[in-house]
Structures are given as structure tokens and as C-alpha cells.
Amino acid sequence: MKQAALGVAALWLLACGSPPPAAYTQQTEQAQAARVKGDHAAAARHYERAAALADEPRDADEARYRAADAYARAGELARAEALYQRLAAAGPDGERQARADFALADLLHRAGREPEAQAHLAAAIQRHPNSGLSRPALGRHLDYLREQGGSERVLAYLANEGRSFDSSELAETVAYRRARELDLLEKTAEARDAYLACASRFPYPRGAYWDDALFRAAEKELALDAPQRALAHLQRMLAEQESAVITGSYERARYAEAQLKIAEIYRDHLHDPARARRELRKVWQNHGKSRLVDDALFQEARLARDAGDAAGTCAPLAILVRQRPDSRYAACAHLLCATLAATSGECHDYIKRAAGLP
């Protein structure tokens, strides 16, 4: 134990220049021990003593923040609220100001003071738009507004309050959430335009909603009977993946889904099954780890069967059985391709019906 304490002190010396006072360290260790035992009230008192003993403001803020959290866990909400308010009112250099501000809103919610909690949450978002906590907080506040007055209330808030976030890290979230609310209201053309505006203003690679916005814009184009424009949005998305192959890129959540959607557009909207088969194969070729690979390969096999192409039917099924033996489609492969051996699993009736199998 003594060696561990010395190790902690050494780390503080390297990181900060000098360790905190021994009395501060002793109180925080006692607080942690009390928390492990589930005695959160005792932990809170130790943290408050530590705050009084700290040499550095940041250490005092950290101890008070932990004390507030411990009081909240102990059910002593008034004490927790007072500490969070003190931290939230600190100057801009306060280490725990933003976290305390949002934590206070959560505390008011827990206390059943929902209108007050939401008012405080909205104010905290305005005060700390660049905090990592602001995005989920905004989502919670918009959900509350929707419950109170529907999507129209949300759109009014985003139009009025959202302007103040234009130069902050919340700007993209505001743009995307506006598009989603228009979508919920079934304002299809307006939603499409808002999605495209979001994707253009916050492009790859920094745009967090970029791929989702383009995918949803493509869905709106299909609803507006514009499949070629839908293809253009999806191909725009996948072009970024292809351009980043040499330097390396993260697989965006919508990439495989976009490729599958391209194939479905050629099949269902443009009535080009041959092109659809080629696009379906790309799901496996370009997104081999996706959960959609087996769906795409099975759909390709069905299109080949419908075209009377026996070899083309068996080729994707052979890949499916080899690469995805646990797939729900693997047990059905031999029913479409006579040269494949039956597996130990059972081909479910709903797959047989959908594929027109006996």
C-alpha cells in the first residue's frame, strides 16, 4: 500500500510538478474506500474535506464534483445540488464547470422537477456548446420538446436557438436534427434538401452525420420517384471510400448499406437485374465484414436463378456457404444450387416463401 502511494505521488510529480498534499490524498483514498463499500454519504464527506485541503483549484473542483456525485448516489439531493451549482457558477477556467452544469440538469430530472430540469439543460447547452456532453444533452432536450409540442416545437427551437450554435461543435447536430424533424413531419422534399445541406456543409471525413445524411437523402429521392438522383447521392458517398483506399479509411456505418441500396435501385426502380447482380456482388467484395454480405449474396443468387443462369446462381451461394456458414441463408443454398451439399441446418419457411422455393 505504501509503495502504491509512493507510485501515485511520483506520477503526480512527473505530470504536474508536485503531488497534492498528503492530507488531500488521504481523504480521497478514504472516500474511494467508502464508495467501494457502498457508503456514498461517507464518501461525499471525505471528498468535501479533500476539497478544503487541496492546494490547486482543479484538485478542489475535482473533489467537489466527486462529492456531489456521491451525495446524489446517497440520495442527499439538496447537498448534491448545492455543490453542482457552485461548480457550474465557477469561472470559465473551472475544470468541472460544464460537467457540473449538465449533471445539475440530470439531478433536477431525478428529483421530478422536469420543467426546471429542461430549462436548466437548455441553458447549459447554450453555455457549453463545445462540450462533449452537449450533443447528447441536445438530443434529450429535443425529445422533451417533441413530447410537449411535436416536431413543430422542435423545429421552432432549432430555428430560434440553433443560430447561436453556428460556430460551435453543435452546428452539425443542429443541421442534422432539423432534417430529421422535417422527415418525421413527412415533408419529403424539404427533408431531402436539409439532409443534402448537412452533408455538404459537414463533409467527409469530419462530418459525423455525413454518410447517414446522404443515405437518408437518397431514400427521400426514391420517395419522390427520382432513382437516378438517389443513385448519385449513394455513389457520392461510396466515392469517398474508394478515394481513401490507399491511405486507409474507416468503414462508415452506411457504406455497405449504400451499396446494397444501389443494387436494389437497379433491381426495383430501374429494372436492370444484370446491373443489380453486379452491384450486389460488390457488397461482399468491398464490405466483406458487413452483416449484409449474406443478404446480398443470396439476393444475387435469386436474380441469377430468375435469369436462368445456373452457374451464376451457384457462384454467390458457394461464397456464402464458405464465408458465412452460420448465415440463415446457408441452409437454403443447396435448394437453389444442386451442386452444393446440404448443410446441417434447416432452411426456414419464411426464406423459402420469399425465394419461391419448394
Contact present, 308 and 327 (Cβ < 8 Å):
no
- In a domain, residue 67? The reply is yes
Q: What is the pLDDT along the chain (358 residues), one digit of tens a residue?
A: 445 454 445 444 444 557 889 999 999 999 999 999 999 999 999 999 999 999 999 999 999 999 999 999 999 999 999 999 999 988 665 568 999 999 999 999 999 999 999 999 999 999 999 999 999 999 999 999 999 999 999 999 999 988 899 999 999 999 999 999 999 999 999 999 999 999 999 999 999 999 999 999 999 999 999 999 999 999 999 999 865 554 445 678 899 999 999 999 999 999 999 999 999 999 999 999 999 999 999 999 999 999 999 999 999 999 999 999 999 999 999 999 999 999 888 999 999 999 998 8
* Domain membership flag for residue 308: no
Q: Is the residue at 92 inside a domain?
A: yes
Domain-located, residue 98:
yes
Does some domain include residue 237?
Answer: no
What is the CATH classification number for the domain harbouring 37? 1.25.40.10
* Residues spanned by the domain of 46: 21-128
Evaluate whether residue 338 is within a structural domain: no
Question: Is pTM, for the whole model, over 0.75?
Answer: yes
CA distance 146 to 163: 19
Q: Is residue 309 a part of any domain in this protein? A: no
**In whole angstroms, what is the distance from residue 295 CA to residue 276 CA?**
13
DSSP string, 304-356: HHHTT-HHHHHHHHHHHHHH-TTSTTGGGHHHH-TTSPP-SS---HHHHHHHT
Domain count, the chain: 1
3 state DSSP class of 33: helix
Residue 110 domain flag: yes
